[in-house]
Amino acid sequence: MSHDAIENLSHEDRAFAPSAEFAAQANATAALYDEAAVDRLAFWDKQARELQWETPWHTTLDWSKAPFATWFDGGKLNVAVNCVDRHVAAGHGDQVAYHFEGEPGDTRDITYSELLVEVSKAANALESLGVKAGDRVAIYLPMIPEAAVAMLACARIGAVHSVIFGGFSAEALRSRIDDAQAVLVITCDGGNRKGKPMALKPAVDEAVLQTPTVKDVLVVRRTGQDVEWTERDIWWHDLVDAQPETHEAQAFDAEHPLFILYTSGTTGKPKGILHTTGGYLTQVTYTHRNVFDLKPDTDVYWCTADIGWVTGHSYVVYGPLANRATSLMYEGTPDSPHNGRWWELVEKYRVSILYTAPTAIRTFMKWGEDIPARFDMSSLRVLGSVGEPINPEAWMWYRRVIGGDRCPIVDTWWQTETGAIMISPLPGVTATKPGSAMGALPGICAEVVDDEAHPVGNGGGGYLVLTEPWPSMLRGIWGENDRYVETYWSRWKGLYFAGDGAKLDDDGAIWLLGRVDDVMNISGHRISTTEVESALVSHPVVAEAAVVGAADDTTGQGIVAFVILREGVEPGDHIVADLRNHVAHEIGPIAKPRQILVVPELPKTRSGKIMRRLLRDIAENRDIGDTTTLADPTIMALIGTGLTTNPGTED
């Protein structure tokens, strides 16, 4: 292993085998791994045949123009038909597709028959506005059913949707609309957030002043707040409600574009990640069915992600609907109107599968066990984690407090670019370890390599790469094919690398270490921020931690930690000393933080991602950079004040 590979410092010995009862009823068996290993393309052929195709494909994979893939070449299908029409035709029209719960407490149950009518009317409405196959439609909506309807209506007519997270600014919205050259924007007056209406249309009004391709703005009435009105604005209820309730869907090529989803670049403008139709739907359907062990006749499934992120695309809309799931869709935040809101909803709807982010889990840990203890969560049977590596302490808390020590946890690794889950345990098959995503799913080929692209072997750390194409892979960056090749395929020939570090434990289980940008170089040792954060959170007084590397004249970089203490714990020098020693004990003296700062909150985006760039600014005494994407920009002032009064240094 090269000296530049990432150190494998922490170790985890706890493991949880599937119960015999769960394994006996599980959708997935170990045979899936064998089947995929014998003939990977035949395996994906079989998964694709679970869908309804208008025309069969003649070639499973054409990789001759690598890194540009063609999957299921010659095949034709319609995504909306696969997600809605076929279930109604099979007699499941009365099944609830979505239980919708608004933050104020308003509710709607939408059956598959009702969803088909809504999608058909919306598809007719889009066509009445002149939207045609291949046109781009920007969707800027909160978590309301019209968001899923709008996506499916686009898919039904072959329009390419670009969903833009409802928390983004007018400028972020403008740049994304402009890059995709969208002809239509679908938005609403506002959404409900933390007990009050949050306006959305003003950002659209500002954005479209500089987007000449936009012809119309279709506006959903949600909050009833006053909105400015222009000639291009149309109320959703005026246009959509008047449309015919049926729509003749046509099939599209497997490689027809389905959506563009913008993800922030480390530098420069956001990247428009392009996903197509057949391969994407095949893999999200397969992973949703097997990773969550979905039983469509009995389960109530809740993915808490926003529609604006890829998790919302794949595991709120397309995967669940293709599998005929009954899903919960919730508009609001976990703490409105009270900190037990999520658990109240689990009890109310008898949620059986919960898929959420480690950030949320750590927030609940901070609030205390007594809150979830007030609610009946015996309906839960599978728990999922997504978005970032989950530290072992949060994993164990999730299993014990939320899952009652009976629910398997599927810790999933994937990206906007991969389109669907790539690495995850299979419940009923995999013995899980707290904090590990365990292994690549059947049909997926992943390795951990060193700087020369040599596999590091068990016990080694390095870079996570994908060695073979997969059906739901991105097909490029919108309008920037050279950037696609340079960003993902240039480091090592034939290997996909998107910037994540990983390690293999002695048993070969995969542990994600976060972005390699977040790897610190401490006296020549490359140490992952994730491992140090996990060590800090394993201390009983710590609720959450973020770690950055700051310039250090002696060691190259020094470890600076920002920690949130659990409720009722008072900060003090003794805690700082205890935490530094705890990290040294858990990982080794090399990982002992130079500085620990106790803070009231961490700088996070609306999606829950910690903005370590801003923490590095503080740690290196620089002016604070752009804070416009923070959920609460005032947090930076609080953290900065704390730094001057409580430096938290030792030795």
Domain limits, CATH 3.30.300.30, in the chain: 539-645
Report whether pLDDT(346) > 60: yes
Segment 445-451 long-range contacts (CB within 8 Å, at least 24 positions apart): 445/40, 446/422, 446/510, 448/502, 448/503, 448/504, 448/510, 449/492, 449/495, 450/1, 450/2, 450/4, 450/5, 451/2, 451/4, 451/5
Tens-digit pLDDT profile for residues 538-591: 899 999 999 998 887 766 788 999 999 998 888 888 899 999 999 988 877 888
Tens-digit pLDDT profile for residues 125-144: 999 999 999 999 999 999 99
H/E element holding 461? Answer: strand 461-466
Q: Would you say 207 and 170 are in contact if contact means Cβ atoms under 8 Å apart?
A: yes
Tens-digit pLDDT profile for residues 349-393: 999 999 999 989 988 999 999 999 999 999 999 999 998 889 899
Q: Which residues contact 489 (CB under 8 A, 6 or more apart)?
A: 67, 495, 496, 497
The span from the CA of 190 to the CA of 256, in Å, is 32
Residue 524 has a pLDDT of 63
Residue 591 has a pLDDT of 86
Sheet harboring 96-101: ordered strands across? 107-111, 96-101, 327-330, 301-303, 353-356, 382-385, 409-411
Q: What letter would DSSP give residue 355?
A: E
Report whether pLDDT(609) > 90: no
Residue 39 has a pLDDT of 98
**Mean pLDDT, rounded, for 28-55:** 98
Tens-digit pLDDT profile for residues 426-446: 999 999 999 999 999 999 999
Q: What letter would DSSP give residue 342?
A: H
Q: Could you tell me which residues are beta bridge partners of residue 461? A: 503
Pairing of strands 446-449, 190-193: unpaired
Nearest CA to 151 out of 319, 323, 384 is that of: 319
Give the SS3 label for residue 446: strand
Name which CATH class applies to 112-250.
alpha beta
Which of residues 219 and 523 earns the better pLDDT score? 219
The span from the CA of 84 to the CA of 356, in Å, is 25
**Mean pLDDT, rounded, for 303-307:** 94
pLDDT more than 70, % of the chain: 93
Mean pLDDT of the chain: 91
Q: What is the CA radius of gyration of the chain?
A: 24
pTM, entire model: 0.86
Tens-digit pLDDT profile for residues 248-265: 999 999 999 999 999 865
Report whether pLDDT(644) > 50: no
Report whether pLDDT(4) > 60: no
Nearest CA to 580 out of 569, 591, 566 is that of: 591
Tell me the two tokens of residue 29.
Answer: 């068996």
H/E element holding 481? Answer: helix 481-489
Domain limits, CATH 3.40.50.980, in the chain: 112-250
Size of the chain, expressed as the number of residues it contains: 651
Q: At residue 474, what are phi and psi to the nearest 5 degrees?
A: -60, 145
Exposed/middle/buried for residue 105 (C-beta within 10 Å: 0-12, 13-18, 19+):
exposed
Q: At residue 326, what are phi and psi to the nearest 5 degrees?
A: -100, 115
Residue 409 has a pLDDT of 98
Residue 523 has a pLDDT of 67
Residue 529 has a pLDDT of 84
The span from the CA of 302 to the CA of 349, in Å, is 10
Tens-digit pLDDT profile for residues 454-483: 999 999 999 999 999 999 999 999 999 999
Name which CATH class applies to 539-645.
alpha beta
Tens-digit pLDDT profile for residues 261-295: 998 654 457 899 999 999 999 999 999 999 999 99
Q: Could you tell me which residues are beta bridge partners of residue 410? A: 384
Residue type, 118: E
Pairing of strands 190-193, 196-199: antiparallel
**Mean pLDDT, rounded, for 239-243:** 98
Which of residues 77 and 629 earns the better pLDDT score? 77
Q: How confident is the model at residue 513 (pLDDT cuts 50, 70, 90)?
A: confident
Report whether pLDDT(607) > 70: no
Q: Which residues contact 581 (CB under 8 A, 6 or more apart)?
A: 592
Nearest CA to 533 out of 478, 591, 605, 484 is that of: 591
Tens-digit pLDDT profile for residues 152-204: 999 999 999 999 988 777 888 998 999 999 999 999 999 998 889 999 999 99
